[in-house]
């Protein structure tokens, strides 16, 4: 028997929510990157961050990696061979744990729901 989150309607809802989250992140990140680009003094702290993933499919990993790359200020660099870790470059970060938490609670959470997982 399938769980209530594995049917087509919950997955469609998750995809719509994910699109809205991505648009919000796109706009906010674009504003931050524009401010950084036009600042008189650029003071950024770039970092390479390992983001542990709890996704079930390679497609889920690819979706999260592409959403990260499409968001200004971040880019996906590599995934571990088992698909459990995504390495990203963040242009400006004060706390790597905050970057991980943001990706896991926004993009990964809703991609998992699209996969039919909680």
- In this structure, the number of other CB atoms found within 10 A of the CB of residue 9 comes to 9
Sequence-separated (6 or more) residues with CB below 8 Å from residue 48 = 77, 87, 88, 89, 90
Q: Give the tens place of pLDDT for each residue, 65-112.
A: 999 999 999 999 999 999 999 999 999 999 999 999 999 999 999 999
What predicted TM-score, i.e. pTM, was given to this entire model?
0.90
Collapsing DSSP states into helix, strand and coil, what is residue 102? helix
**pLDDT tier, 1 (very low <50, low <70, confident <90, very high otherwise):** very low
What is the residue-averaged pLDDT of the chain?
Answer: 93
Of 118 and 79, the one with more pLDDT: 79
Q: In this structure, are residues 76 and 88 in contact, taking their beta carbons and an 8 Å threshold?
A: yes
Q: pLDDT value at position 5? A: 61
């Amino acid at each position: 028997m399938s769980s209530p989150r594995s049917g087509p309607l919950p997955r469609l809802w998750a995809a719509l929510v994910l699109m809205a989250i991505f648009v919000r992140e796109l706009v906010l990140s674009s504003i931050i990157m524009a401010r950084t680009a036009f600042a008189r003094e650029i003071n950024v702290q770039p970092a390479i961050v390992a983001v542990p993933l709890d996704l079930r499919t390679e497609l889920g990993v690819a979706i999260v990696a592409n959403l990260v790359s499409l968001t200004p200020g971040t880019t996906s660099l590599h995934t571990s061979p088992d698909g459990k870790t995504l390495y990203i470059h963040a242009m400006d970060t004060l706390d790597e744990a905050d970057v991980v938490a943001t990706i896991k609670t926004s993009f990964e959470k809703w991609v998992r729901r699209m996969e039919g997982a909680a």
